[in-house]
Amino acid sequence: MRLPSIAAFLKGATRQLEVDWQAVLDDGVVALEWAPDGGHLAALSAAGTLTVWDGATGEQRWSCAAHRTGGMTLSWSADGTVLATGGQDRQVCLWEPTTGDRLVSLPAGAAWVERVAWSPPYQDGAPAVLASAAGKVLRFWTPTGDLISEHVRHTSTIADLHWHPQRRCLVTACYGLLTVWTPGADLPAEVFAWKGSHLAVRWQPQGRYLVVGDQDATVHVWDVTTGEDLVMSGYMIKVRELAWHPAGRFLATGGGAAVTLWDFAGDGPAGSTPIVLEGHSGLVTALAYCPDGGVLASGAEDGVLVWRPPEKPGRTVSPVGRYDVAGGVACLAWRSDGARLAAGGLQGEVLVVVVAA
C-alpha cells in the first residue's frame, strides 16, 4: 500500500494507523527508546528483560535478562554507542547496543534505579555524562563507568530528572524541591522550592521555563530568567505526562482523559485558556511530539491517538490517526525522522506504527 506524505496524512480524516511491525515482551513495557539514528529500537520490561530490534524490519537482534528483580529505565547515549539501563537490583548497566554485551555494572546507591539519562550533545563537544537516580542518590558517570560525583542532599526519593538542553547541568525533582546539579560540583547550582510532591520535570527546549507535574493535580512553571512562577490547575488526577513542542511554544500535559495544551507565546500561559484535545476513553499515560513538532502523539488506557493540534482554543479537533491497544499504553517514542512511532504496552506489546512515508 502506498503511504501518504506527512502533509497528506495531516489533512485526512481519522484513520487506523498501520502497524509496521510488532513484538511482545514477557511483561509490561516500562521504557522504550529509538537509537539516535533510528536504526534500532530498545525496550525494557517490568520483569527486567532488555530487547533490541532492527528498527526497519523488526528482527530481534538480541535479548537478555538485564535486571533479575525488575527493570525500570533505559537511555541511549547521543552517539548511539552505549545503552544504559536501571532496575530494581541497585544496578546501572551499560550495554554494547549491537552485540548485547554487558560492558559494566555500576552501583547506583539504592535498591530501585528509577532513572538513567545520558546528557545531550553539547556544542562544546564535551564528553557525554550519564546520570542515575536511585532513592535519594544522584550519581554522574563517564561513558566508561567511572564515577564523576555523587549527590545525596535530596529531601525525598528523586522522582524524575532532566538534562538542560544547552547548559551542562541537570535538574532533579523530589518533594518540595527542584535542584539543579552540575556534574563534579559539590553544591547545587540552583534550587526552586515549592511545597508539593513533584512527579515529572522538563526543561523547555530553549531553557527559559522549567515545568513540573505534581501529585496534587497541578502543573507548576518557573521562568528561570526572572524567578517568577505559575500554577496551572483543573486537572482530574496527578500529572505525570509532560511534553514540550520542539520550538518551546506549547506544553502538552496529561492529568486526565484529555490532553491539555498551554501556549507559552508572548507573556506565557498566565490567565489564558488552554487547548483541550478530547478523544481518549481512558486516562492519558504518555505524550510525545514528533521531532519537527508537526504531530503530537498521546498514549492512554485505550491506545494511541495522533493529533495535529490547532494553535488557538475553541475549535473541535479530531485525531488524525488512532490505534487501539487493549491493555493500554505505557510509553511512546518517535523515530528521529518522524515517520514511525513506537508504543510500549502495559501488557508487553511493542508496536511500531506508520505515520507517513
User: What does the pLDDT look like over 28-54, one tens digit per residue?
Assistant: 999 999 999 999 999 999 999 999 999
pTM of the model: 0.93
Residue 272 has pLDDT above 90, yes or no: no
Residue 122 has pLDDT above 90, yes or no: no
The whole-number average pLDDT for the span 141-166 is: 95
Q: How far apart are CA 134 and CA 127, in angstroms?
A: 23
Confidence of residue 141 (pLDDT cuts 50, 70, 90): very high
Residue 8 has pLDDT above 60, yes or no: no
What are the sequence ranges of the domains in the chain? 19-255+327-352
Task: Select the highest-mean-pLDDT range: 276-280, 306-310, 312-316.
Answer: 276-280
Residue 44: the pLDDT is 98
Residue 142 has pLDDT above 80, yes or no: yes
Residue 119 has pLDDT above 50, yes or no: yes
Q: How far apart are CA 45 and CA 102, in angstroms?
A: 17
Confidence of residue 14 (pLDDT cuts 50, 70, 90): confident
Residue 164 has pLDDT above 80, yes or no: yes
Confidence of residue 71 (pLDDT cuts 50, 70, 90): very high
Using the Cα atoms of residue 205, residue 53, residue 90 and residue 285 in order, give the sign of their dihedral. Answer: positive
| Alpha-carbon separation of residue 318 from 8, 254, 352 (angstroms) | 16, 17, 22
Cell of 266: 508572548
Residue 57 has pLDDT above 90, yes or no: yes
β-partners of residue 19 are 353
CB 185 within 8 A of CB 149: yes
Write the pLDDT tens digit of every residue in 180-222: 999 999 999 999 998 889 999 999 999 999 999 999 999 999 9
| Alpha-carbon separation of residue 321 from 5, 10, 47, 207 (angstroms) | 14, 9, 31, 31
E strand spans, 215-320: 219-223, 229-232, 242-244, 250-253, 259-263, 275-277, 284-289, 296-300, 303-307
Residue 287: the pLDDT is 98
* Segment (H or E) for 105: strand 102-107
What type of residue is 342? A
Residue 12 has pLDDT above 80, yes or no: no
Using the Cα atoms of residue 189, residue 163, residue 286 and residue 288 in order, give the sign of their dihedral. Answer: positive
- CA nearest neighbour of 129 among 146, 153, 113: 146
Q: How far apart are CA 285 and CA 243, in angstroms?
A: 12
For the domain made up of 19-255+327-352, the CATH class stated in words is: mainly beta
Residue 1 has pLDDT above 50, yes or no: no
CB 357 within 8 A of CB 52: no
E strand spans, 204-277: 209-214, 219-223, 229-232, 242-244, 250-253, 259-263, 275-277
Write the pLDDT tens digit of every residue in 241-257: 999 999 999 999 999 99
Residue 318 CB neighbours (<10 A): 13
